[in-house]
Amino acid sequence: MATIVQTATGDVSSVDVDPVTLDIIENALRNARYEMDEVLFRTALSPGIREQHDEFPLIGDAQGRMVVGQFGLSIPALLDRYEGTIGEGDVLLTSDPYACDAAISHANDWLVVLPIFFEGRVVGWASMFGHMSDVGGKTVCSMPADSRTIYEEGVIIPPFKLYDGGRLNEDALRIILNQVRRPDWNRADLNGIVAACRTASRRIQELCARFGVETYLSALDALLERNYQAMKTLLTMVFADGETLSFTDYICDDGVGHGPYELKLSLTRTGEKVLLDFTGSSPQSSGPINYYLNENLARMFFGIYMITVADPQILWNDGFYPLVDVYIPEKTFWKPEFPAALNARNHGVGRIFDLFGGLLGQKNPDLLNAAGFSSSPHFMYSGTYKDGDRAGEWFQLYSIGFGGIPGRPIGDGPDGHSLWPSFVNIPCEYLESYYPLRIELWETVPDTGGAGLHRGGNGVDVAYRFLQPGTIAIHDDRWLTYPWGVNGGDPGARGRKWIDRADGTREVLPSKVHDVPVAPGDVLHFVTWGGGGWGDPLSRDPDLVALEVRRGLVSAEGAERYGVVVRDGAVDGSATDALRERMRAERPGKPPVFNMGPPLAEILANCEAETGLPAPSPPVPA
């Protein structure tokens, strides 16, 4: 465990904080968190961070508990495993999930943590991690689809002092950067992360100078206690004492031929507390899809659904964690044994949102979302220019794709959007300016969103025409199982990928693959999946369906899933009434809360005929 070196002596007294001061400090923390983002975006070089914002900041209290941020687990997990002293001016860096109890979950994420000192005392912590586009390893972008161990996935940085008393460890950084393909990107991104954390440190020091340490730290305690009390109330309102809820979803395959992987989550309330139990999930994968899940991160996901649904404006934090116990069995998908491969954990990170949505929505189906774009699919393209002014120059692209957000109680799911609210697309102009490719197509795919009273968002088809020879890699999912619909809504469509070769042939690609050669004139179609529908499709406004037909979001044939007949862009009223009456009469009964699509056995039996890809084999313990 880390030893914190402080020159200040004595305890800090707790004081009452008036509501106005508390509100000022709360919003100052929120602003500091967003300032961290902006500092990094303006200094990073990799498109994944600079353009798409694949980074996550955090500001903690003196114990490392998150008071504002997105991932409330980094600091305590790291400090528990770090052996050494930490003093003023020190900056810690790691990328080793196994050395920090999954404070980060794959080696591409570089985590920076620094203490915030004021007058010789630690008053908080600033932390941020960002996804480095390349950290070495056997494939470009360091995410081999067939890796069996973490050793194949690039440089693994143990926790160490990047800065010791404010002095940069140049030798260590030089060794690290010597392992990666774009050291200029990694250096700039890392410098930006450190600068963002130092910016947060200055803002906290300013708050301490303005209000006093006692008031500042007492305000943090008040913010944490507020979330504790909110969760305590919500747990007793939503869950019956002794009741157990369970939900199961899947990861389609692991990149090495096995799948689907069963992901199960159960919840039981006992008194004031709940237990999140991941028992029943598949064993750890021999491929790279394992998601090493820190228990605090599981608590965080739970809190997102519970607290922010009740109060979207609350400054969400770690205060409620003592009310949530977590059990994750060893050697499973969620807690693999070292040195299991981890690079493709993005599918588990996303799918856990569907798990929590399906689990918690059972208590109130009217508040239940369908399954959505629960992943961060990756596309990578690299090579060397063979001709022109840039002949001999290396190029390397890492980007994140978007898909259909689920249908929701409040309305339709957005088309072609990100799972993470802060993520944005890399602009086509940027891609075409900096890389040898052209975007032939970037559009939503009609009918890929599940039909419902509220339609699931459509997936997108991004067509990349390659102008230079190179290799591509893909990490995606939901090509086998369906994004489920709820409350009578239909599942969304599955994702698919293929290359139309310059010679006129077509090659269907698996969802997880790397080192696929491409030539000038080849076109990759990267088609993402749609979100599930919410509610009865036959209750959707026919005029809205016709409008979406005119806009190209729903086809005329697809409109019939809603019982709507559209001719020449307008609703045929009598034909629509007749079709809806017939469809209602043919229903076997009340639709289930969850529409998962065909049974799994049927999906596997029809896999190759429907997808062009062989069915995966059942998972086996790694």
DSSP 230-249: HHHHHHHHHS-TT-EEEEEE
pLDDT at 622 > cutoff 80: no
- The least confident of 42-46, 100-104, 509-513, 564-568 is 100-104
Comparing C-alpha atoms, which of 127, 134, 140 is closest to residue 108? 134
What is the rounded CA–CA span in Å between residue 415 and residue 402? 9
Q: Is the dihedral of CA 334, 340, 342, 347 positive or negative?
A: negative
Assign 3-class secondary structure to 541-598: CHHHHHHHHHHCCCCCCHHHHHCCCEECCEECHHHHHHHHHHHHHHCCCCCCCEECCC
Q: Report CA 46 to chain centroid distance, whole Å.
A: 19
Which two tokens mark 614? Answer: 């062989």
Contact indicator for 379, 52 with CB cutoff of 8 Å? no
The residue-averaged pLDDT of 508-520 equals 97
pLDDT at 308: 75
pLDDT of residue 363: 84
One-letter amino acid at 118 equals F
Half-sphere exposure of 25 toward its Cβ, with a 13 Å CA cutoff? Answer: 30
18-41 confidence digits (pLDDT tens): 999 999 999 999 999 999 999 999
> In the predicted model, is pLDDT for residue 552 greater than 90?
yes
Residue 110 near residue 130 (C-beta atoms within 8 A)? yes
CA distance 59 to 115: 10
- Residues linked to residue 506 through DSSP beta bridges, in sequence order: 500
pLDDT at 72 over 70: no
CB of 490 closer than 8 Å to CB of 530: no
Tell me, what's the pLDDT at 146? 96
Please give the average per-residue pLDDT across 409-426, as a whole number: 86
Compute the average pLDDT of residues 269-292.
Answer: 97
Mean pLDDT of 538-546: 98
Instruction: Using the predicted structure, report yes or no on whether residue 604 has a pLDDT greater than 90.
Output: yes
Contacts of 176 (CB under 8 A, 6+ apart): 155, 157, 186
Percentage of residues in the chain having pLDDT higher than 90: 88
Alpha helices in 398-443 (DSSP H): 428-434
Phi (first) and psi of residue 308, to 5 degrees: -70, -25
As separate numbers, helices (DSSP H) first and strands (DSSP E) second, the chain gives 13, 26
Q: How far apart are CA 425 and CA 445, in angstroms?
A: 17
Closest residue by Cα to residue 198 from 36, 2, 29: 36
d(CA 320, CA 230): 8
- What b/e sequence results for 195-214 when a residue is b if at least 16 CB atoms lie within 10 Å of its CB, and e otherwise? bbbbbbbebbbebbeebebe
What distance in Å separates the CA atoms of residue 186 and residue 188, rounded to the nearest whole number? 6
Most confidently modeled range among 65-79, 184-198, 581-595: 184-198
Of 127, 183, 188, whose CA–CA distance to 159 is shortest?
Answer: 127
pLDDT band with cut points at 50, 70 and 90 for residue 425: confident
d(CA 483, CA 597): 8
Contacts of 307 (CB under 8 A, 6+ apart): 227, 230, 231, 234, 314, 316, 320
Lowest mean pLDDT among 73-77, 80-84, 156-160, 463-467: 73-77
